[in-house]
Structure 1
Amino acid sequence: MSDSIGRWIREDRIDADHYYVVMREMIEHAYRDGDGESTVHALERGELDGSAFERDLAARLLTLDGVPPVAEGLLDRMFAGFERVEAMYDMLRDVRKNGFKTCLLSNSWGNAYPRDGWDVIFDAVVISGEVGMRKPEPRIFHHALGEIGLAGEECVFIDDIEANILAARALGIVGIHHRDAESTITELESHLRLTLRRA
């Protein structure tokens, strides 16, 4: 994700320092402060469409020329360079091969998800904007658990945002704070007592 964002910042000539200040404030409000609703909440639940969010975000940002970036297509440009981490996909295949159920639980920013091959790695897919709920709301975790027919105590949840991990743990779910594939897979191996592939 950070590589994709960095590429977009360079290509759209975004003022990087200003971008990170703006984004930090938006994400902290959405995931840490819990003080009222925001455009991020609405976007992730699908209550605000991507183009409206793009206009809001573009108005907050600046290019190196001191003007807002072009709003139309902003999210597509931000995520255009996103590349999946093959080691994590290999791990998911191994987990499933060993009889465990897998579920993708994702907060969407209006993204079009490339779903090719998902049927062989996920038993269920829960996208926030499609179900009208978002992490870290407990109800989306309950929804995901219902989709795979498991209790929280039977599950491990992996996420890169601490607030989401804490919400999962409050429901009895083991939480792994993802920072990189190697450490996440190592921790998951310990919980599942398996040896998992790393690409």
Structure 2
Amino acid sequence: MPSDPGLRAVVFDFGGVLITSISNQIGDVAASHAVDPAVMHEVLLGPRVSWPDHPWHRAERGELAVADIQAELTPWGEAAGIRLRGDEMERLLAPGAYSVVGAMLDRVDTLRADGYRTALLTNTFAEFRPTMERDLDFDRFDAVVESFAVGSRKPEAEIYVAAAEMLEVGHASIVYLDDFDQNLSPAAALGWTTILVGDPRVALDELDAILGTSDSAPK
């Protein structure tokens, strides 16, 4: 059973936590245009905050098909002074561009065996679901919260509320791991304990420290 009875669930992001980040692909696309990767990231994936009309964000909310993202990116590229070539999404989403972080998946299994509820919380597309199920096995999780399915994406508050409801726990009972700090702030505001993931091993050590301290209050 959980060491701290107040902490009952652990929630994992997908990209950059359970799998390696797609930052390398963004860097490659940026290099081919001779622009800064941060600029290309904003053009292709949108601003750090949620944006109503960015095509990537719309697709993650289930409002736009993945196949239609590329055509909708032209004005975003022009605004940044970049002439897109039309293959940026294909390169970004190319098969085999990431690998599963085995240590993270192993910890999901261990946590469930120890009595914690677990969840996958991810910004993703309906078209990508079969690939995720193949790589992760959704049976590992008590809840799978996908942005396209709930019509809300991180860092919008609604998706975190949906996750807590699906886990059937209070916000203060949740520990959450994500590799983007902007996705952690709304969770922390709700009472979740948060871990910013850089090195997976360091993040797992931090998780162990949090769950192993019975007198610690959720942050």
Query: Which TM class, normalised by the smaller chain length?
Result: 0.7 to 0.9
Counterpart of 2:87 in structure 1 is 70
Residue 165 of structure 2, aligned match among 146, 163, 172: 146
Q: What are the ranges of 5 or more consecutive residues in structure 2 without an aligned counterpart?
A: 1-15, 214-219
Asked whether the equivalents of residues 58 and 71 of structure 1 are also in contact (C-alpha less than 8 Å), the reply is: no
Q: Return the alpha-carbon distance in structure 1 between the equivalents of residues 99 and 89 of structure 2.
A: 22
Describe the SS at the equivalent of 1:42.
Answer: helix
Pairing of 1:117-136 with structure 2 (within 5 A): 118-136=137-155
Counterpart check, 1:85 vs 2:104: no
Q: Return the alpha-carbon distance in structure 2 between the equivalents of residues 181 and 72 of structure 1.
A: 27
Counterpart of 1:114 in structure 2 is 132
Q: Using the TM superposition, give the Cα deviation of residue 98 of structure 1 relative to its aligned residue in structure 2, in angstroms.
A: 0.5
**Aligned-residue CA RMSD (Å):** 3.1
Q: Return the alpha-carbon distance in structure 1 between the equivalents of residues 89 and 201 of structure 2.
A: 37
Pairing of 1:19-34 with structure 2 (within 5 A): 20-24=38-42, 29-31=47-49
Q: Return the alpha-carbon distance in structure 2 between the equivalents of residues 147 and 26 of structure 1.
A: 30
Asked whether the equivalents of residues 14 and 69 of structure 1 are also in contact (C-alpha less than 8 Å), the reply is: no
Q: Return the alpha-carbon distance in structure 2 between the equivalents of residues 42 and 191 of structure 1.
A: 35
Q: Return the alpha-carbon distance in structure 1 between the equivalents of residues 123 and 112 of structure 2.
A: 23
Asked whether the equivalents of residues 93 and 121 of structure 1 are also in contact (C-alpha less than 8 Å), the reply is: yes
Q: Return the alpha-carbon distance in structure 2 between the equivalents of residues 71 and 36 of structure 1.
A: 21
Deviations 1:76-121 (A, max 9, x none): 32x5311111111111111111100000010015534331452442
TM-score by length of 1: 0.78
Counterpart check, 1:17 vs 2:35: yes
Asked whether the equivalents of residues 46 and 56 of structure 2 are also in contact (C-alpha less than 8 Å), the reply is: no
AA aligned to 1:170 is A
TM-score by length of 2: 0.71
Q: Among all aligned residue pairs of Structure 1 and Structure 2, give the percentage whose two residues are the same amino acid.
A: 25
Residue 56 of structure 2, aligned match among 40, 43, 49: 40
Describe the SS at the equivalent of 2:128.
Answer: coil
Q: What are the ranges of 5 or more consecutive residues in structure 1 without an aligned counterpart?
A: 195-199
